[in-house]
Structure 1
Amino acid sequence: MSRHIRAIIITLVLFGFGFIIGTMISRGTAQSTIPDNPALGMIPRSLTTLPQGNVNNDELTRAQIYQRVSPSVVSITVTRPGTFNTDTEVGGSGFVIDYNGHIVTNAHVVANASEIIVYFVDGTITRATLVGADLDSDLAVIKVDLSPDRLLPVTFGNVDSLFVGQSVLALGSPFGQDWTLTAGIISALNRTITGLSNYRIGSVIQTDAPINPGNSGGPLFNMQGEVIGVNSQIVSQTRANSGIGFSVPADLVQRVANELIQNGRVDYSYLGIYGGDVTLTLIEQLGLPNNQRGVVVSDTEVRSPARLAGIRTMTVSGQGTNNARVISADIIVAINGTPIPNFAEMIAYLAKYTRPNDVITLTVLRDGALIDLPLTLGSRRQ
Structure 2
Amino acid sequence: MNTINKITLISLLFLSISIKAQSLSELYEKVNPAVVVILTEQKELVSSGKMTKTVTAGGLGSGFMISDSQIVTAAHVVQVAEKVNVQFVDGEIIPAKVISAYATADVALLELIWPRKNAVILNLADSDHVKIGERVFVVGAPYGLGHSLSSGYVSGIIKDTKDQNPFTNSEYIQTDAAINTGNSGGPMMNMEGEVIGVVSNILTKSGGFQGIGFASSSNITKDLLFEKKVIWNGTDVIPLTGKMAQIFNLPQESGLLVQRVVKVSPFGILGVEDGDIEMTINGEKFIVGGDIILSINGVKFEASDESLLEISKVMERKTENDPLEIVVFRAGKKVTLGRK
Give the structure-2-normalised TM-score.
Answer: 0.58
Structure 2 match to 1:210: 178
Aligned mates of 1:259, 1:234 — CA distance in 2: 27
Cα–Cα, structure 1 residues 191 and 77, in superposed 2: closer, same or farther, change >3 Å? Answer: same
Q: Does 1:379 align with 2:289?
A: no
Which deviations, in whole Å up to 9, do the C-alpha atoms of 1:237-266 show, x marking residues without a partner?
A: 022111111111101111222147x55269
Distance 1:223 1:145, change over 3 A: same
The residue that corresponds to 2:39 in the other structure is 77
Match of 2:231 in 1: 264
Partner Cα distance (1:240, 1:122) in 2: 29
How far apart, CA to CA, are the structure 1 residues paired with 2:307 and 2:93? Answer: 44
| 1:342-357 alignment runs, 5 A limit | none
Partner Cα separation in structure 1 for residue 101 and residue 159 of structure 2: 22
Separation in 1, partners of 2:39, 2:154: 29
Cα-to-partner distance string for 1:306-341 (whole Å, 9 max, x where unaligned): xxxxxxxxxxxxxxxxxxxxxxxxxxxxxxxxxxxx
Partner Cα separation in structure 2 for residue 146 and residue 67 of structure 1: 25
SS at match of 1:140: strand
For residue 86 of structure 1, give the secondary structure of its aligned residue in structure 2.
strand
Q: Which amino acid aligns with 1:89?
A: G
* 1:90 CA displacement: 1.0
| Superposition deviation, residue 225 in structure 1 | 0.3
Cα distance in 2 for partners of 1:213, 1:186 equals 20
Residue in structure 1 matched with residue 263 of structure 2 by the alignment: none
> Root-mean-square deviation (CA), in Å?
3.0
Match of 2:196 among 228, 243, 255: 228
**Aligned equivalents of 1:241, 1:148: Cα separation in 2:** 33
Q: Relative to structure 1, is the Cα distance of residues 200 and 244 closer, same or farther in structure 2, using a 3 angstrom cutoff?
A: farther
Cα pair distance change 1:191/1:115, threshold 3 Å: same
Distance 2:213 2:169 in 1: 14
Change (3 A) 1:201 1:55: same
1:171 counterpart SS class: strand
**Aligned residue pair count:** 217
Task: Write the deviation string for residues 268-293 of structure 1: whole angstroms up to 9, x where unpaired.
Answer: xxxxxxxxxxxxxxxxxxxxxxxxxx
Matching of residues 282-361 of structure 1 within 5 Å = none
Match of 1:89 among 52, 58, 73: 58
Q: CA deviation at 1:191?
A: 4.9
CA contact (8 A) 1:78 1:116 kept: yes
- Asked whether the 8 Å contact 2:201–2:215 carries over to 1, the reply is yes
Contact 2:105 2:171 in 1 (8 A): no
Q: What SS does structure 1 have at the residue aligned with 2:179? A: coil
Residues in 2 aligned to 1:244 and 1:85: alpha-carbon distance in whole angstroms: 34
Change (3 A) 1:66 1:380: farther
Q: CA deviation at 1:82?
A: 3.4
What's 2:23 paired with?
61
Q: Which amino acid aligns with 1:237?
A: K
Deviation at 1:147, TM superposition (A): 3.5
| CA distance, structure 2, for counterparts of residue 213 and residue 247 of structure 1 | 14
Aligned ranges for residues 179-218 of structure 1 at < 5 Å?
179-191=147-159, 200-218=168-186
User: Which of 83, 87, 102 lines up with 2:70 in the alignment?
Assistant: 102
1:226–1:198 CA distance, 2 compared to 1 (3 A):
closer
- Code of the residue aligned with 1:163 in structure 2: it is K
Contact kept in structure 2, 1:217 and 1:230, CA below 8 Å: yes
Match of 1:174 in 2: 142
Deviation of the 1:169 alpha carbon: 0.3
Q: Please state whether the residue corresponding to 1:56 is helix, strand or coil.
A: helix
Asked if residue 250 in structure 1 is aligned to residue 180 in structure 2, the reply is no
Alpha-carbon distance in 2 for matches of 1:183, 1:191: 23
Q: Give the whole-Å Cα distance in 1 for the aligned partners of 2:199 and 2:310.
A: 25
Unaligned runs of 5+ in 1: 1-52, 267-375
Separation in 2, partners of 1:209, 1:201? 24
8 Å Cα contact 2:37/2:60 also seen in 1 = yes
Q: CA deviation at 1:146?
A: 3.7
Deviation larger for 137-146 or 198-207 = 198-207
Whichever residue aligns with residue 96 of structure 1, its letter is M
Structure 2 unaligned regions, length at least 5: 1-14, 46-52, 234-305, 313-340
Q: Measure the CA separation in 1 of the matches of 2:55 and 2:171.
A: 40
Task: Read off the aligned partner of 1:66 and give its amino acid letter.
Answer: Y
Q: Percent identity?
A: 31
Asked if residue 127 in structure 1 is aligned to residue 95 in structure 2, the reply is: yes
Give the direction of change, closer, same or farther, for the CA distance of 1:164–1:85 in structure 2 (3 Å limit): closer
